[in-house]
Amino acid sequence: MSESRVPRRRRFLVCEPRHFAVQYAINPWMHPERPVDTGRALAQWRALVDAYRAHGHTVETVEPVPGLPDMVFAANAAVTVGGRVFGSLFKAPQRRPESLPYDTWFKSAGFDVYRPESVCEGEGDFVPAGRWILAGTGFRTTREAHQEAQEYLGTAVISLTLTDPYFYHLDTALFVLDDTAGAENIAYYPEAFSPGSREVLARLYPDAVTATREDAMAFGLNSVCDGRHVFVSPGATTLIGRLAERGYVPVPVDLSEFHKAGGGIKCCTQEIRS
């Protein structure tokens, strides 16, 4: 079955973890007293970039800024749909300065950037899924931002409520497997969502791949799929097996050093959709 899965080449934006550190705590994963091995983090990040390029994807970089230790988490800076860039307004004041260098990069690349009025954290909580955008709320991005995004991007936004603080962004609890219109599918951890949101997901995606809590806590759902290959945390062993059974090709990439800040593969990856 894996031969029937067709990858689509993607364009990714990333930021080297030159200044990565855990200097404050804004989610349950972050403990400033726990040291970060910056050399190991850089090696893991480079392995991710190499894996993307080895599978035919384009990877571009934004220059890291001193004093912004979480800037490596490029996904949080914006969401792009059809060449439109909906920027970020971080909830935590420590992260708000990250928006400017990303906005500058997008503008220099020829994109217009919308500056939101409501708190929103890019692809952390906005997950484009073909005909619609799945949007998380509950800890960071607000429902008002969902409305702003729908108006600017011109794509239906489906609001989902997150209830477990360990899965504070939507991209820690869900990722898209197929974004082809009419054939959309996802992988997700149901217990990260409110009862009503679980019902919505079950109706939209009756064939979804579900993950265990162990998979989710290993950042298995903070993954990137190109339609065939799934760049996934090696610790999500049950999920890896379920993906392989469905014909996907898991590509394990260890980003465990970034778990100390509550991030993983997808957090480090902004997809540019022209």
Give the pLDDT confidence of 43-73 residue by residue, as tens digits.
999 999 999 999 999 999 999 999 999 999 9
Catalytic annotation present for 267? yes
pLDDT at 4: 83
Alpha-carbon gap, residue 109 to 172, rounded angstroms: 28
N- to C-terminal Cα distance for the chain? 30
| Cα atoms in the 13 Å half-sphere on the side-chain side of 124 | 33
Question: Nearest to residue 124, comparing CAs of 106, 136, 112?
Answer: 136
Query: From the candidates 169, 225, 259, 268, which is the catalytic residue?
Result: 169
Where the chain has pLDDT below 70, the residues are 1-3
pLDDT at 2: 58
Beta strand pairing call for 79-81 and 84-86: antiparallel
| Sequence-ordered alpha helix ranges (H) in the chain | 38-54, 99-108, 143-153, 195-204, 213-217, 237-245, 256-259
The burial class, CB within 10 Å (0-12 / 13-18 / 19+), for 195 is exposed
Question: Nearest to residue 128, comparing CAs of 166, 91, 174?
Answer: 174
Query: From the candidates 15, 225, 267, 268, which is the catalytic residue?
Result: 267
Catalytic annotation present for 169? yes
Alpha-carbon gap, residue 31 to 260, rounded angstroms: 7
pLDDT at 1: 54
pLDDT at 207: 97
Cβ neighbours around 204 below 10 Å, total? 15
